[in-house]
Structures are given as C-alpha cells and as structure tokens.
Amino acid sequence: MIRESVMMDEFMKAAIAEAKQGLKTGGIPIGSVLVKHNKIIGRGHNKRVQDGDPITHAEIDCLRNAGRIGNYQDTVLYSTLMPCYLCAGAVVQFNIKKVIAGESKTFTGAKQFMESHGVEVIDLDLAECQDLMKQFIEKNPRLWDEDIGQ
C-alpha cells in the first residue's frame, strides 16, 4: 500500500464515508472528495440509481457539489475506485493534476488515459475499498454491469 501522509488518509476516509452513504441510500458504493489547499471543497457519491441519472458518478457528483471554483489546477481528486473514462475526462477537462484512488482491482478504470494527459495517479490498493466493491458486485451484478456500461 502507498501512504502519502496523514492528511491524505483523512481525505480518503471522507471519500469512503461518501461511498458508504451512497450504499446506505440504495446506490453504488463509490465516493469522492475534491481537496484544495488541504481542505475538502466538494464531496459526492455515485447517485445513478437514486437520481435515475446515468451520469451521476461519484466524481461528477463531487465536482458538481464543489461548484464553480475557477481554477482546478491546485486540487486533488480522491475516489474510492479508479475513475472511469467519463470521470477521467472531467479530470482532464478541468486540468486536475492529481487523482488518488482507493483501489483498481474491482475496476481498472482509466488510469493510463489520465496519465497520458499529465495527471499523477496514485492507486492506494486499499482493502476496505476493494471489500466494499466486491460485496456490492456479488449482490448486484446487473446493476454493476449497468454502471460500467456492460
């Protein structure tokens, strides 16, 4: 496991709390936070099921909740799962320079795409994030396939 700092752990804990909130409200357990100058400025979780909206992935919800902040270059996006191409596209579009993912074993996501656009991507390979997704996927395989476009 990679550990950058105690601060980073607190931000990932906040993303995990978002994922658990999403699961508690009937959705997919993926959470995200946006950090600027060591402060959380946006939080979100996957709300595709709750909102009936195929675009409301955790990272998109997080960015929406952060609102218009002007410049995203000094931000770090934390996500419990490696971002998909949709969310990676938003990262590249808004010039977010760093993404920290809880895991990428249950879903490989778009790490190479982000890196090819100059984004530093760190995969923490956290058991808690993997377990959350594994349990969800086992219980809801059709919903998970829908979420990843299968």
The residues annotated as belonging to the active site are 59
Nearest to 129 by CA among 77, 82, 80: 80
d(CA 98, CA 21): 24
The encoded tokens of residue 40 equal: 């959380």
Kind of pairing between the strands at 98-101 and 31-36 = unpaired
Strand order of the sheet with strand 120-123?
A: 39-45, 31-36, 75-79, 98-101, 120-123
Nearest to 92 by CA among 108, 106, 112, 107: 112
Kind of pairing between the strands at 75-79 and 98-101 = parallel
Nearest to 147 by CA among 59, 60, 50, 49: 49
